[in-house]
């Protein structure tokens, strides 16, 4: 599932006329980098949730056939349900096995095929990919212990990439709901593992960061 429902306030004015994941960088929409990565990883079906200017996604991406995928669209209406709320809404598309989640407004060279292997041997409810902190988020989100269990203390940044068991969400009601409290509750139960990725990763949160990424990719 690619999370694509946010308003993208910090990216304005670019997001006044386009959802953030549909913005282009180096001649390609941000979300297309994810779709190509997912196809390389062996994923065949992808869910994209949308709210703000959501009617632009299907005309831009179609059925997913051009990427070797089948895309399902989860429409949240005019008001996004936040991360957990969006996942809960999309559960009918996601099945009963652990599924991959990736934020639509990041760019990374992390190969998602590593997670398709991980999810088949997953014993915990959640597995997250962490990255080193960036200047705009210097404190971080979570730490990892020597056994790869997550600790609820700031050390590294959550990349917006992870695997989630549907068991976490099946008893929760559809509605606006953030994801962080759910992750933290699972950490208390030692149900969250993680890994640290040291490769390229960017949170494309502002026009300046979009330009920086464009420069990197075109160099």
Strand partners, 156: 142
Predicted confidence (pLDDT) at residue 141 exceeds the cutoff of 80: yes
Give the containing element (helix H, strand E) for 194: strand 192-197
What sign does the CA torsion over 73, 76, 79, 82 have?
Answer: negative
Q: With contact defined as beta carbons under 8 Å apart, do 184 and 178 qualify?
A: no
Give the integer Cα–Cα distance in Å for 132 and 157: 6
pTM (two decimals): 0.93
**What pLDDT, in 10s, does the model give residues 25-79?**
989 999 999 999 999 999 999 999 999 898 999 999 999 999 999 999 999 988 8
Q: Which CATH number fits domain 2-218: 3.90.550.10, 3.40.50.300, 3.40.50.150, 3.30.470.10?
A: 3.90.550.10
């Amino acid at each position: 599932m690619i999370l694509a429902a946010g308003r993208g306030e910090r990216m304005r004015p670019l997001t006044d006329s386009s959802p953030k994941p549909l913005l282009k960088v180096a001649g390609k929409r941000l979300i297309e980098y994810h779709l190509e990565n997912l196809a390389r990883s062996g994923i065949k079906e992808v869910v994209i949730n949308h709210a703000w200017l959501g009617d632009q996604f299907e005309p831009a991406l179609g059925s997913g056939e051009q990427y070797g995928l089948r895309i399902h669209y989860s429409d949240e209406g005019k008001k996004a349900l936040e991360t957990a709320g969006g996942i809960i809404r999309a559960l009918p598309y996601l099945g009963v096995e652990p599924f991959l989640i990736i934020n639509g407004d990041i760019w990374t060279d992390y190969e998602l095929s590593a997670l398709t292997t991980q999810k088949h041997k997953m014993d915990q409810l959640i597995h997250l990919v962490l990255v080193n902190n960036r200047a705009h988020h210097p404190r971080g989100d979570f730490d990892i212990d020597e056994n790869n269990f997550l600790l609820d203390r700031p050390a590294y940044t959550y990349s917006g990439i992870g695997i989630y068991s549907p068991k976490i969400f099946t008893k929760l009601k559809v509605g606006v709901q953030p994801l962080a409290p759910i992750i933290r509750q699972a950490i208390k139960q030692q149900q969250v593992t993680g890994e640290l990725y040291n490769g390229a990763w960017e949170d494309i949160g502002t026009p300046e960061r979009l330009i920086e990424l464009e420069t990197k990719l075109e160099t």
